[in-house]
Structure 1
Amino acid sequence: MARLRIAILGCGGYAGVHAQRLRQRDDVELVALCDVKDEITRAYADYHLADCPTAPQHFTDPAAMYRDAAPDAVFICTPHTLHFKHAMQALDADCHVFIEKPMVTNARQAHQLKARADESGKIVTVGYNSSCTPELQYTRNCIRTGELGKLELVVGHISQSWMAFTLGKWRQEPELSGGGQAYDSGAHLLNSLVWSVEADIDQVFAFIDNHGTKVDINSAINIRFANGVLASIAISGNCPTNGTYMSFIFDGGKINVDGWSGTWIEVFKGNRRIKYPPIVGEPVTPDDNFIDAIQGNAEPAATPANGVVQSELMDAIYESARTNAPAKPRRQ
């Protein structure tokens, strides 16, 4: 079987992780790098790909990259507000598309991208860790099957010194980021929520503190899903201790889990902790899930359908915080 030809669009910080993951597979070939300046792609290649037997081509124009390098798939690692344009362009170039989180930065774009992805028949995934872990997959299955009864409540938090380490960078510029910590690291927790509950958002009431910056740093978010599940999520971007915690509360038990990367889980049936919950399988990276899905060996984990619900949630969060009132998603 011919190796998949992969391009990376956006050669900033986390794109290096993708290079290292892709290099561990012998069924892919990294054929192209693209960023706004040639020196960015050159520095990226020198640092991450210096010992690769075949050097990728370098581009500053995505259209030229698709035309001249003809990749089968692209990893989009550009600033958040550029994701929609770049993903649509990649689909028009007949590429499978991996998008770093968040998928896009408003619900209108999310619906348009999902429709285009469905029409194209290409694999489109969003780079979330937790949905690729057996811990979160087990949690979602318990919700689906009712093994622990009916899900009633979800509470969670994520903390990180986000404000300090993004100071002076594009993540604190709304025209590039689309928002702050809730759209960046906080998106992992919010994706774990909507990916697991699998219901539309009914109503949101949110408070936001920008801490004097242009974007949200801390958020307190209350959510009611259309299926009646209630959720309360706190997102901290000004804490020196990194961490996350989610609790899915059923009428017959409870699951506590790492909602950021699914590294641990506690399961309670009734008032008894299950010592060895039946967690099956090993975690995979979002990169591996994407490649395996293209090859027909896996189901895509985080999809445009999940991105639509999360985008509707984010729009409602920001509207509620702006109006100081409950907000409902504006569906297309």
Structure 2
Amino acid sequence: MQLKLAIIGCGTKATQYIQTWISRDDIVISAIMDPNDKAMANVCQIAAGANKTAPLCFDSWETLLRDQCAALDAVYICTPHASHAAQALLALELGLDVLLEKPMVTTVAEAEALVAAQETSGKTLVVAYQGGLSPLVNELKDAIANQTYGPLVSINAAIWEDWADKYQGHWKQVPAISGGGFMFDTGAHMMNTVSKITSQPFSRISAMMQNLGFPVDVVTTVSGELSDGTLFNLHACGRAIRCVSRIECYFPTAIVRICAWGRWMEIEDAQGNVVRKDQEAANNLMNVFMQTRLGEITNPSDVRQGLRMAQLWDAVKLSASQHGAPVTL
């Protein structure tokens, strides 16, 4: 059975996925919307190069959803963060399943509205955290829960990117649209993966931020503990080289390292032997979404997890605004 898919937002990230999804026989990209005509023209060229029919193009996401909902199964939303809530709410109201880019929303109120809408509609909403959908992240989650390497002792996580200069003047650095800076953009992958692997709520945190002259946070550090008492550190640096992440989980018998996107995992034993595993991301994201909407697996990145992330981000901002004063979640 083919998935009839619409795509709202055809920027860099969406285009990367489109280049992979367009050649699949089980997906039909039926309609697209982007305020930039060149972006939509680029998608049509990709379709032509894959010998696929060009999708219908719209200049309004509302028009696309309302006019095409009867002919669609689902929508992938890849737009600026502040637009996510309204677009996902309408899609659910119209009976569509939703694959929604991270972060799910920018406020707790928006998250609560999406939780209610999803539960009322009964439709599927998957938040597109590659880490949250990664088999490697879920393998590590199970290992922690089963104490495969003994009890989890602590977590040290970092993520860095040449983000501040690369996105200078971009919507990602406009607070009203982005909802935050580097920690809420790329750093959200790290926060979500740490939350996912531990299966424990964040209990208390202390955060510090620096803007480094930019309109949003560029460097953020968070120290805290989970509800079971496990201590963790999160460090996000948006003025560095490349885009890299390393999350280290310490156990009595091993150190397990994984990236925020779940693309690789390394297991080091007491003798220093390292086993590395790798995972492809683009098709996995869509495969997990399709399996979830068909009821074949439990949603690994649902609206409830999106709500927890919104609550964490509010706590980070509150603590940082109080010069690192501890905040209880």
TM-score normalised per structure 1: 0.90
1:308 aligns with 2:307: yes
Q: Contact 1:21 / 1:287 at 8 angstroms: preserved in 2?
A: no
Q: Contact 2:10 / 2:78 at 8 angstroms: preserved in 1?
A: yes
Aligned-partner SS, 2:217? coil
- The residue number in structure 2 matching 1:45 is 43
Unaligned runs of 5+ in 2: none
AA in 2 matched with 1:245? R
Aligned-partner SS, 2:110? helix
What per-residue deviation string (whole Å, max 9, x for no partner) do you get for residues 82-141 of structure 1? Answer: 111111111011110011111111222222212321222212111122233332222101
What per-residue deviation string (whole Å, max 9, x for no partner) do you get for residues 173-194 of structure 1? Answer: 0111101111111111111101
1:218 Cα deviation from its structure 2 partner:
0.6
Aligned-partner SS, 1:221? strand
- The residue number in structure 2 matching 1:320 is 319
1:223 aligns with 2:224: yes
Aligned-partner SS, 2:249? strand
CA 1:212 to 1:199, structure 2 compared with 1: closer, same or farther past 3 Å?
same
AA in 1 matched with 2:326? P
Unaligned runs of 5+ in 1: none
CA 1:41 to 1:158, structure 2 compared with 1: closer, same or farther past 3 Å?
closer
AA in 2 matched with 1:311? A
- The residue number in structure 2 matching 1:178 is 179
Counterpart mapping for 1:109-188 below 5 A:
109-188=110-189
1:29 aligns with 2:33: no
CA distance in 2, matches of 1:321, 1:118: 33
1:17 Cα deviation from its structure 2 partner:
1.6
Moved more, 236-245 or 130-139: 130-139
AA in 1 matched with 2:110? Q
- The residue number in structure 2 matching 1:203 is 204
Report the count of equivalent residues.
324
CA distance in 1, matches of 2:39, 2:167: 22
Moved more, 248-257 or 116-125: 248-257
CA 1:142 to 1:168, structure 2 compared with 1: closer, same or farther past 3 Å?
same
1:10 aligns with 2:9: yes
AA in 2 matched with 1:179? G
What per-residue deviation string (whole Å, max 9, x for no partner) do you get for residues 253-303 of structure 1? Answer: 4312223343231243xx3456558x7997652122112322334443322
CA distance in 2, matches of 1:113, 1:162: 29
Q: Contact 2:15 / 2:43 at 8 angstroms: preserved in 1?
A: no
AA in 2 matched with 1:129? Q
Aligned-partner SS, 2:328? coil
CA 1:280 to 1:299, structure 2 compared with 1: closer, same or farther past 3 Å?
farther
AA in 2 matched with 1:13? T
What per-residue deviation string (whole Å, max 9, x for no partner) do you get for residues 211-247 of structure 1? Answer: 1111110111112221212110110100124322111
Q: Contact 2:182 / 2:219 at 8 angstroms: preserved in 1?
A: yes
TM-score normalised per structure 2: 0.91
Q: Contact 1:266 / 1:273 at 8 angstroms: preserved in 2?
A: no
Q: Contact 1:127 / 1:287 at 8 angstroms: preserved in 2?
A: no
What per-residue deviation string (whole Å, max 9, x for no partner) do you get for residues 55-88 of structure 1? Answer: 2111122232123222210000110011111111
1:250 aligns with 2:248: no
Identity, in percent, stands at 27
CA distance in 1, matches of 2:196, 2:116: 19
Moved more, 207-216 or 303-312: 303-312
Q: Aligned-residue CA RMSD in angstroms?
A: 2.2
- The residue number in structure 2 matching 1:191 is 192
1:196 Cα deviation from its structure 2 partner:
1.0
Moved more, 292-301 or 117-126: 292-301
Aligned-partner SS, 2:53? coil
- The residue number in structure 2 matching 1:68 is 67
CA distance in 2, matches of 1:4, 1:260: 25
Moved more, 249-258 or 56-65: 249-258
Q: Contact 1:172 / 1:180 at 8 angstroms: preserved in 2?
A: yes
CA 1:115 to 1:149, structure 2 compared with 1: closer, same or farther past 3 Å?
farther
CA distance in 2, matches of 1:24, 1:300: 25
Q: Contact 2:254 / 2:267 at 8 angstroms: preserved in 1?
A: no
Aligned-partner SS, 2:327? coil
Aligned-partner SS, 1:208? strand
Q: Contact 1:125 / 1:302 at 8 angstroms: preserved in 2?
A: yes
Aligned-partner SS, 2:12? coil
CA distance in 2, matches of 1:197, 1:187: 16
1:41 Cα deviation from its structure 2 partner:
5.2
Q: Contact 2:10 / 2:40 at 8 angstroms: preserved in 1?
A: no
